[in-house]
Each structure stands twice: as C-alpha cells, then as structure tokens.
Structure 1
Amino acid sequence: MLLVVITGCQPAPEKVKKTIHAENGTYAADISNDGNYSLVSTDEAGLLLWPRYATNAKYQWQHNENTVSQIIDVDISADGEVAVAASRKEFSMWDINNGENLGFWQIGSGDIQKLVVSKKGGTVVLGKQDGTQVAFNPASGRRIEFYGHTESINVLDISPNGFYVLSGSNDHSAILWDTRSGQIVHRWPLEGRITQVALHPDGNFAFISDAIDNAVIRSLPDGEIASKLKFIERHKIFSAARFSASGDYLITGSPSRQIAIWDTSTGEELTHWRVDLRDGGRPSNAAVLAVVFDEKQQQVISESSAGLAEWWNIDLTGSKE
C-alpha cells in the first residue's frame, strides 16, 4: 500500500480500496467513528451494515417488514454499538454486534428529517421538518421536545453521552442544546440556511456551515470562533463533516464529490480530492454522504451516493508545523 505524506495542499492520496456498497446508489450513509463499519440505506436491499474492507455485508436489515418505506437518514453511535434509521414517520434501532432489532417506533405529528443516537442507544434525537426536535430514551420511554428552531431541521450531531445536540435549521441558526433540560447552551445565527454541523467527540469544537459560504469552527464550551474555513469557491456546500479524534483536523465532503481536510486551528485547507464515479460515469455526479479520518491508521474512509465505499492512506505528519 502506498502511503502519501501531506505537507501542504497536495494531489489526491492513492486509493487503498474501492467497494460497491449499494448497486443502485445510496440515499443515506454513516461510518462509525473508528471506521470499522459503514451503514447504508438502499432501495434494493434495505439497510446494509458493512465491516471495513468486507466483500459482503454483515447484516441486512429491513426497516419495516410490513411496508416499504424510504430510509431518509441513518446514524451509528459513537461507540459503534448501535445503529438507527428513519423514514418520515418511523425509526428503528439495531445492535451492531449481534444484528438484533432493539426497537421500532412510529411518530405522531410531523415528518422526520434527521436523527442521531448516543452511545449504547441511550438517547435518540429526531429533527423534524417543522423545526421540532425530540430527545427520546428508548429504555425509559422519557422524551423531551425542543422548540428552539422555527423551520426545518437540516442537520444534527450529538455528543457521545447524549447530553448535547448541535442542530442546524432553515431558520439560519445553529443551536447547541442540553437534552436533559431542553435549555439552549449556545445559539449561533448565520446568514443562510444551515447545511452542515459537527461536534468534536470530546466536546472541544463545533463546526457550522451555511448555504452562502460561511463555515465556522467554534471552540467549546465558550462558543468563541476558533477559525473560519478558507476557500475561494462561491456557494460552497458541505454534505458531510466530522472532526478527527484529536480535534486537530476537520474532514468534509461535498455534493460535488470532493473530500477536503482542514486545519482546525487555522481553517486552512490541507488537501482535497474527489471520490470516484461508478464505471461508465453514471450518474455523472455523486455526493459524499459520510467521511471519517481514522488518525490511528492514518486513513480516510468515505461513502457516496454512487453506492461506493472508498479508502485512502494519508499521513498528515508535519502538516500542523
């Protein structure tokens, strides 16, 4: 395997492997924090859980055996123990270790737009199209509704312990709120609708971007600006974002196939490249749906709407000097 050392803005790293995870493309996807599992939703096979490098899925799950429903979002908990999936009116939880279904729930009013899950499935948070969020404890049945937004929830992230949620909405604001009390910790207004958010797993940073070229990294808990991403493109949209475990890097994906790695402290782009299209080039574009930078193995992993999982070896040693 070729290991590419990145010391500035360099060409794409060499690919380690590429695998088809969904023959007819992927609608929603997530990758575990350690990069060991990918969860994808497909039209032809339901939900598929793929171990790293596997040629066959570990589990194939049907969200609802009684009806055919389009899965609009999926999430893997920070500890890699459970997975959740949602259609507009229903959501389900699964045990990643043994494949068992841990619950299936239907909601009343409103439509689900996004969902996230904390460690061991302790808290599931639903973001709805009407701006409401619901934090739900599957074990106790306790739920709390949060009305901090006035328009559709576009993006969500949750702290591993389930205590904090970062949400972004069409109402031009991102909110960090406490799921135990329903209280707002920080509210950050931006100029456009919020298109992407990310929380650092240890709670050191929050990333927020909007539809009109504002992309900001804030330090936590104070909420002050740590850096702003530096780019020259206009109307730059991020379809995926995640901090590295150390917090030194932010990795993003775009609707135009691009992956980029950023220096958290400066907002400088360290490198970028594009994911592949399917053989034959159809569809002609692909959104990056999920991306992870595994610092231990110095590897980037992506899932795209083309149904492809891709892996690259990359070494960022010296990039922060």
Structure 2
Amino acid sequence: MLLRLIPLLVVLLLVGCDDEVELSQGTISQLGDKGVLIGHFSQDGSKLVTIDSANVLTVWDSRSMEALFTVPQNKMPELSREVVLSKDNNMLIVVGDNQLKFWSLATKKLVTKVSFSGVSGYAHITSVALSPSMDKIIVAMSDGTVNMAHLHTQVNNQFAPHSRPVMHVEWDDKGELFMTAAQDGKLALWRFGSPEPVFTKEFNHRVTSLAVRKDFSEFFVSDALDNQVIASLIDGADKSELKYMARFKVFRKALFIEKSGLLATSSSKSQLTIWDTKSGNELGTWQINTVNSGATIIDMYAPSKEKLVTLSSDGLLEEWALNMLANRK
C-alpha cells in the first residue's frame, strides 16, 4: 500500500511546485488613499478613470499617474452607477440613477445631460456602452429594459428583452451589433435598432461576467454558479468550457489577452486566474496585492500579450508578466 502511494505523492509535489510560478511584478502605483469604487482603463490603456469612496471622479494618465481632470463631489450624481470613456478619450460619461452627464475632457466642461427610463417607473440605469463611432449609445436598466439611442438624431428605440437587471453591454468593433447579459440568465446579440436577436443563450443562473475579443470573434460568459464558456459570436455556439477542481467559482471581471490564447478572470475575492481559451484549462490562480481585506480587481488592461495590469478596489495598480506562462501551457 505504501509503495502505491509514492507516485501519487510525487505528482502532488510536482503540482505544488508548479503553482509557485510568480507572475506578479509588484505594485506599480497607488491611486490615492480612499480606495476605488468604480474604475476603468481607456480602450488604448493611456487613460484611467476612477471614482473613490468620497464620490470624486478622477481621470489619470496611466503612464505618469498624473491626475488630468477631476469632477468634484458636488457635480457628481448622488449615486454614481458607472463611468464611460469614448474611444478617442475626449468624451466622459458619468452615469447616475436615470441621467447621463457628458463631459468634454478637452475643455473640462459639462456639455449636456440626457435622461433615460425603463418600462417601469422604478427602474434605474445598470449598464451603459458607447459605440466606437460615438454616435450611438446603449443604456440598459434594472427592469430589463434596453434603450438604443442615436446621439445625433436623438431617436431612442426602447424594448424590454430581459426580466431582470441588465448588467453587461458590449459593442462590436464596427458599432453595428451589441450584446446584453442580465441577471435573468439570458444573453443575446442584437443589431442596433432591431428588437429581434441575432442569437440568444440562456443559463440557469444570473450572468456575472461577460467579455468579448476586440475583433468580436468570440466571447466569454459566466453564470453565478458553474457554467463558464467561451463561444463564437457568429451563432453563440460553445467553443470551450472552463475546467477547474473546485465545485464552483465566482467570476467578476474578465479580459481576453489579445493575440494570445489566454483569458484573465477575477474572483469576488483577491484572486486573478489565467486560462487557456482553447482547452479551457486553468493555468493558475494568484493573489493580488492588497491593503484591505476583501479587496477585489476592479478592471484589467493588457498592453501586450506578455503583460497585464490590474486595478484593485484598494486603488493599487499591479503588473503581471504573462510570458512566465509560456512553459506552463
């Protein structure tokens, strides 16, 4: 019996050693001392927008970490739901319960305010996405309503494809198609202006995470329990399913590492996990640097296929060397 256990113990020891691969290059900056409630990197990674616990919004230069623009608390919504940066980094949208405030970063002035509602009177905004061409906007609501608004013509097509809050909206790279995913477990691809889905997928539990590749070729979606898949954006067909030893995992943020077969995900705790998108295999899970217990990853940006930068709720920017995974796949 003892002899039969020896090979198993050797395998376990080897697995344990493999888990010691260090990806973190350490904290590269801390954004203030009030933490970060909402934070997003710009599409090109050159800017970073944060809202801290005092409800102060700051736009940062992500290279120098210099504060470029600040919206003081008295000009912010009472409850900030989201912030959106335009693709050209010139327009900033601050989202309140039922109103969008458009700021010009060039002039540092408030340009206009636009209100949105749901089908029900109690609905508030839950997710906003601005098209790459900055002429269309999707405003999703807590009652499952989706507003498809054209900013130039001011025409808003409203429909209610979901029965629960719509927490995720993603545009394609041309500004013609968009995805929605909600707490009702439904995900769908839509053509702007049409209430008929290109395709739909349904899950047993609420959708907690959604990410798409920049070329809109595939997407990652996770429900709240044990269904995490990478699927085609042609017809929604599954391409791979994430595999892990635990009974279930909770997924929050997710990011495809462009020009690679890697996917990065964050948990509800202080963990970063890297996956092989083709096999669905877990390549490893690492703890982020934290100041306070319970800190989580707020957003991620990959400047190259070899580097990842994470922003935590502590306001810590941490760099990760993805090239260290080369021999692990």
Q: TM-score range by the shorter chain?
A: 0.7 to 0.9
On the 8 A contact 1:12/1:272 being kept in 2, the answer is no
Matched, 1:71 2:80: yes
DSSP 3-state at the match of 1:119: coil
TM-score scaled by length of structure 1? 0.86
The one-letter code sitting in structure 1 at the alignment partner of 2:323 is: D
Paired residue for 1:57, among 44, 64, 67?
A: 67
Matched, 1:83 2:96: no
Name the residue aligned to 2:315: 307
Paired residue for 1:92, among 95, 101, 119?
A: 101
RMSD between aligned alpha carbons? 2.5
TM-score scaled by length of structure 2? 0.84
Q: Choose 1 or 2 for highest CA Rg.
A: 2
Q: Structure 2 matches for 1:82-161, cutoff 5 A?
A: 82-96=91-105, 99-108=108-117, 109=121, 110-161=123-174
Tell me how far apart the structure 2 counterparts of residues 143 and 134 of structure 1 sit (CA, whole Å): 6
Tell me how far apart the structure 2 counterparts of residues 31 and 198 of structure 1 sit (CA, whole Å): 14
Evaluate the alpha carbon distance shift between residue 245 and residue 77 of structure 1 in structure 2; reply closer, same or farther with a 3 A threshold.
farther
Q: Which has the higher contact order (CA 8 A, sep 6+)?
A: 1
Evaluate the alpha carbon distance shift between residue 98 and residue 104 of structure 1 in structure 2; reply closer, same or farther with a 3 A threshold.
same
Q: Structure 2 matches for 1:130-279, cutoff 5 A?
A: 130-246=143-259, 248-278=261-291
Evaluate the alpha carbon distance shift between residue 248 and residue 319 of structure 1 in structure 2; reply closer, same or farther with a 3 A threshold.
farther
Matched, 1:43 2:56: no
Paired residue for 1:27, among 22, 32, 37?
A: 37
Give the deviation of 1:319 after TM superposition: 5.8
Give CA deviations for 1:142-176 in whole Å, capped at 9, x if unaligned. Answer: 22223211111122222233322222112111111
For structure 2, the residue ranges without an aligned partner over 5 or more in a row are: 1-17
Name the residue aligned to 1:3: none
Tell me how far apart the structure 1 counterparts of residues 42 and 105 of structure 2 sit (CA, whole Å): 11
DSSP 3-state at the match of 2:188: strand
On the 8 A contact 1:146/1:182 being kept in 2, the answer is yes
The one-letter code sitting in structure 2 at the alignment partner of 1:47 is: L
The one-letter code sitting in structure 2 at the alignment partner of 1:220 is: L
On the 8 A contact 2:272/2:286 being kept in 1, the answer is yes
Aligned length: 308
Evaluate the alpha carbon distance shift between residue 277 and residue 148 of structure 1 in structure 2; reply closer, same or farther with a 3 A threshold.
same
Give CA deviations for 1:47-79 in whole Å, capped at 9, x if unaligned. Answer: 1111223343111125872x6522122233455
Tell me how far apart the structure 1 counterparts of residues 24 and 77 of structure 2 sit (CA, whole Å): 39
For structure 1, the residue ranges without an aligned partner over 5 or more in a row are: 1-7
More helix by share: 2
Name the residue aligned to 2:28: 18
